[in-house]
Amino acid sequence: MKKFDVIIIGGGHNGLVAACVLSKKGKKVLVIEKNEKLGGLANYAESLSYISKEVIDELNIKIEKNVSENFISALSEDLNHTVLKINDSKNIEFLQTSASNSDQKNFINLINKYNLFARTLRSFMFKRPPRVKSGSRSDIWQLFSMGFKVRRLGKKNMRELLRVIGLNIADDLEDNIESNTLKGLMSNEAVIGTNLGARSPGSILNLLYNQATNNSLFRINKFNTNSFLNIIENICKKNNVEIQTNKTVEKINILNQNVNSVLLNTGEVIETSAIISNTDPKTTYLELVGASNLDTDFIRRTKNYRTKGTVAKVNIEFESEIKIKNLDSSYSSGKFVYAPDIKYIEHAFNDNKYNKLSLNPCLEFYINKNQLSANVYFIPYLINSSHDKEKILSNVKLILEKFIEENQIISSIIETPNDIENKYNIYGGHWSHGDMEIDQLLMMRPFYGSSQYSTPINGLYLCSAGTHPGGGITGINGINAAKQLLKVQGNG
Amino acid sequence: MDNTLSFTKPLLETPFHKRTFEACYNNDWYRWAGYKIAREYSNTELEYTSMRNTAGVLDITPMHKYDIKGKDAIKFVDKLVTRDVTQIKPNQVMYIIWCNEDGNVIDDGTVFCFDKHHLRIFCAERNLNWFSDTAIGFDVEVKDVSDSIAALAFQGPLSCKILHLLNVKNIENLKPFFFDNFNLNGSKVTISRTGFSGDLGYEIWCNPEEAINVWDSLFKFNRDYKILPAGMNALEMVRIEAGFIQPNADFMSAEQALRPNRMRTPFELGMGWLVDLNKNYFTGKRILNDLKKKPLTKKLVGLDIQGDKPAIGSVLYDKNRKEIGIVTAGMWSPSLKSNIAFGYVDNHHMKIGSKVFAEIYHPEELEYKKIWAECLVVKKQFFNPQRRHKVPADI
């Protein structure tokens, strides 16, 4: 029987990054992936806005930037679309819009305000978060330094940050902007992938968090996801990481609160002394570890961890090249957003609350010649039933017909949160393996007792998006988890 | 039943209420889990005396009862409690406590084993929420059956004799912490040799319809053996003598305490003997493992107090008049002729034989008499007669 130093459950990008870090330190690593293709949920994102310095330095990689220009078009029903050109986080210009000049100015000011706050967040976001209730000096110091960084914004800005951090995005937008299109465009970034409407408290925090992760308020096309995945996969191969695909882990065997081995669906048992789980926390604890090895309070928290996915992926192939009505075709390389106003988003969100399919969903899509790839929300995860996919398609079609010049649909693929759950073994099919809300962030991510990538089981670590800093394709979760493992084993 | 004038639901009446109401001369009711239970029928000392000399009958119907049914019933209870219950046999009863993840005691109770797939837990506090959350991942169903079982505690040296006279077959051979089904004067009942009095005694469980017959039967031989219904006050006296502690009186249940430092571990309560760290994983095991190696900072001990004034609510001091703890329950024990109490003391005074001082405020005709009483730290179990353990029991 083969024995590995570390087994990584799930070959998502975080699992692969963790494998890179560990194999570099000379560990014998095995990665087990359920699907044929590595990368997991990262395969859903064509492009990345940002790869952090921490990842580039740690993995010692070079990755080429896309040189193409970034456009974001907010579609409007009167076909008076708004197009933004995004050069970088600080440099955003209006190419065409129906919004007034003062609105444009206020919009840019708002973005700059959020940028400032997001930078503060980022300064402690990519580090290992402190623990609560530990009483350890380094944790207290870390909490103190987080506070200090917020204080360093200055009195006025700190007050503003503390004012808006728990606020809903709609309130702040309505205070500053009049144009519905611009409000919808910004709200889209705040609520997509969450269980928040534009009027839900905490949507600004989510916006800032995304902004800090992506280094940009609007997710833009700066790096190719595939090339990033290829690079880390190659590092793994170079360092002799064994990767087994098309296999799932059924159970983590535990002996006296220490990990002992994993049981695969093929019946194989592989011994190990350390496991990093790249599956979401709920699957890891409730299914792989099992409730009998965990305290009841802990199981309670696991159960209460909110993981209801809300976004469906819709890929449509048209007969001929897609043309947007009343829009220059040079902008079609960018992102299109259909979230016309706050009320519209809020209505779509209302249906989500009651687990209903919203008839008027919000859309965010990219087009590539005759192919369209859209994120549709809110499409709630359903526990005991499934959505009528034809209905989702027809709802999306009704919206697209308003903006796309006549074209015939050849084929379509729809993946609801339920499908994503099945395909990748993610509870609720949630983008970020759990809602990014204030009680599930930082030291509270995924929940008390499981922070800092550790678990109550010795030798078991988490590196999925369910850990700090959460979702998005950062690789930070993988690096921090691997470092935590090395630190505990005494060779970090 | 519809009470339109009151905003709150009136207290429920137990299946024995018809009889307890007649017997409750004082009409003094205590609220227990939404039920009316007599606090004192006529005279607490008299009721206590009957429990210690003949037998006392207590209505314990409000006690919470949870049915655990399913393939993993034993596994579930084993995960829940600190003791190893995997070896429990049918008809056996086990005294159990359960802790939260920080190793703090939530509640204590007893578990009855009907068979491998059916157990029942009895406890004083509501625990359905905790049990249901513990059941996640186990093939069991936890059901609150509190209202469908009527229960009496029948405690005292003559309890076995009276059951024997009532033709309850083979009752004398029922071992302590075992139960069985019996026929009591025409009623099908389950009798367990358990109780809260620290003496020979039984607990009788039956259908609510049988309740009145069971109650009347027990008093059938009252011409010769004067047994009395006993109230909660009398129960409080016997349980202190027996050394039994009560959640939310001697310690705060970890599920209910708001202040983290008010929770208590089994070691602090002197229940370390119930914690088996070699068994399978249970909630709190990890922390209890660490705590076992650390010295205690406080402990609940028994106190033998100078004088005859009960030290209820007293503060405890060391010889330098430094505060070291408080008394949680105290009484003058008529059987032992001594002034006893439970109290928390610090790590310097935990040993049996240590001396501490209690400041007792004794009300005497509208004035407090302040007493500075020397206390001896003793075992909590003050009263433990041989007849309690004897098999066959005295008839």
A293 and B281 in contact by Cβ < 8 A? yes
State the nearest Cα–Cα gap between B308 and chain A, in angstroms: 45
SS3 A433: coil
Reply yes or no on whether the pLDDT at B133 is more than 90: yes
Check B133 against A293: CB less than 8 A apart.
no
Beta bridge partners of residue B92, listed in sequence order? B178
Tokens of residue B276, six digits = 């088996």
In sequence order, what DSSP letters do the residues of A324-352 get, joined into one string? Answer: BTTS-GGGGGSEEEE---HHHHHHHHHHH
Using a CB-CB cut-off of 8 Å, the residues of chain A touching B82 are none
> Side chain identity at B330, as an amino acid letter?
G
pLDDT at B2: 55
CA-based nearest distance B259→chain A, Å: 14
Look at residue B4 and tell me whether its pLDDT is greater than 80.
Answer: no
Structure tokens at B94: 């086990």
pLDDT at A99: 92
Domain B62-146+245-294 matches domain B295-395 at the CATH topology level:
no
Interchain contact, B137 vs A295, CB within 8 Å: no
Q: What angle do CA A286, A438, A338 make, to 5 degrees?
A: 95
Would you state the structure tokens that stand for residue A23, as one six-digit string? 């194999």
B341: three-class secondary structure by DSSP = strand
Contact A286 B136 (CB under 8 A): yes
Residues of A in contact with B101 (CB under 8 A): 295-298, 449
Task: Inform me whether the C-beta atom of residue A251 falls under 8 Å from chain B C-beta atoms.
Answer: no
**Distance (Å) from the C-alpha of residue A435 to the closest C-alpha of chain B?**
22
- Going by the DSSP 8-state scheme, the letter that residue A409 receives in this structure is E
Cα(A159)–Cα(A151) distance, integer angstroms? 9
If one counts every other C-beta atom within 10 angstroms of the C-beta of residue A366, the result is: 17
The 3-state DSSP class for residue B297 equals coil
Residues A278/A12, Cβ–Cβ less than 8 Å: yes
Looking at residue B92, what is its pLDDT? 97
A11 in helix, strand or coil?
coil
Query: In chain B, what are the domain boundaries?
Result: 17-61+149-230, 62-146+245-294, 295-395
With beta carbons under 8 A apart, name residues in chain B contacting A286. 136-137
Q: Which residues of B touch A293 (CB under 8 A)?
A: 281
Q: Would you identify the CATH topology of the domain B295-395?
A: Elongation Factor Tu (Ef-tu); domain 3 (2.40.30)
Nearest CA in chain A to B76: A292
Helices A101-125, A203-214: inter-axial angle, 10-degree rounding = 70
pTM: 0.91
Which residue type occupies B6?
S
> Any idea of the CA torsion for B342, B343, B347, B351, to the nearest 10 degrees?
-30
* Domain B17-61+149-230, CATH number (from 1.10.3720.10, 3.30.1360.120, 3.90.550.10, 3.10.129.10): 3.30.1360.120
Using CB atoms, which residue from B281, B284, B286 is nearest to A292? B281
Q: Which residue, among B325, B314, B185, B329, has the nearest Cα to B244 in the 3D structure? A: B329
Q: Is A297 on the interface with B (CB under 8 A)?
A: yes
Which pLDDT does position B7 carry in this prediction? 65
Confidence of residue B317 (pLDDT cuts 50, 70, 90): very high
Q: Does A458 touch chain B (CB under 8 A)?
A: no
Count of CA atoms in the C-beta half-sphere (13 A) of A130: 17
Q: Is B22 exposed, middle or buried (0-12, 13-18, 19+ CB in 10 A)?
A: exposed
Whether A118 contacts A205, CB under 8 Å: no
The mean pLDDT value for B203-220 works out to: 96
Does residue B1 register a pLDDT over 60? no
Q: Is A447 on the interface with B (CB under 8 A)?
A: no
Mutation target for A interface from B76, B136, B283: give the one with most A CBs within 10 A.
B136
Fold of B62-146+245-294: Alpha-Beta Plaits (3.30.70)
pLDDT in tens, chain A (492 residues): 678 999 999 999 999 999 999 999 999 999 999 999 999 999 888 888 888 888 899 999 888 888 778 899 999 999 999 999 998 777 899 999 999 999 999 999 999 999 999 999 888 888 888 887 777 888 888 888 888 999 999 999 999 999 999 999 999 999 999 999 999 999 999 999 999 999 999 999 999 998 988 888 888 888 889 999 999 999 999 999 999 999 999 999 999 999 999 999 999 999 999 999 999 999 999 999 999 999 999 999 999 999 999 999 999 999 999 999 999 999 988 899 999 999 999 999 999 999 999 899 999 999 988 999 999 999 999 988 889 999 999 999 999 999 999 899 999 999 999 999 999 999 999 989 999 998 998 888 899 989 889 999 999 999 999 998 888 888 999 999 999 999 998 865
Q: How many CB atoms lie within 10 A of CB B202?
A: 26
pLDDT over 70 (residue B383): yes
Measuring CA to CA, how many Å separate B125 from each of A252, B3, B133, B249? 36, 27, 16, 12
The pLDDT assigned to A134 comes to 78
Give the type of residue at B3. N
Amino acid occupying residue B95: Y
A-interface mutation test, from B99, B132, B133, most A Cβ less than 10 A away: B133
Q: Does B281 sit within 8 Å of A257, measured CB to CB?
A: yes
**Which pLDDT does position A222 carry in this prediction?**
85
The whole-number pLDDT of residue B3 equals 54
Counts for chain B of helices (H) and strands (E), in that order: 8, 19
Per CB-CB distance under 8 Å, the chain A contacts of B79 are 291-292, 296
**pLDDT (tens digit, 9 = 90+) per residue, B67-76?**
999 999 999 9
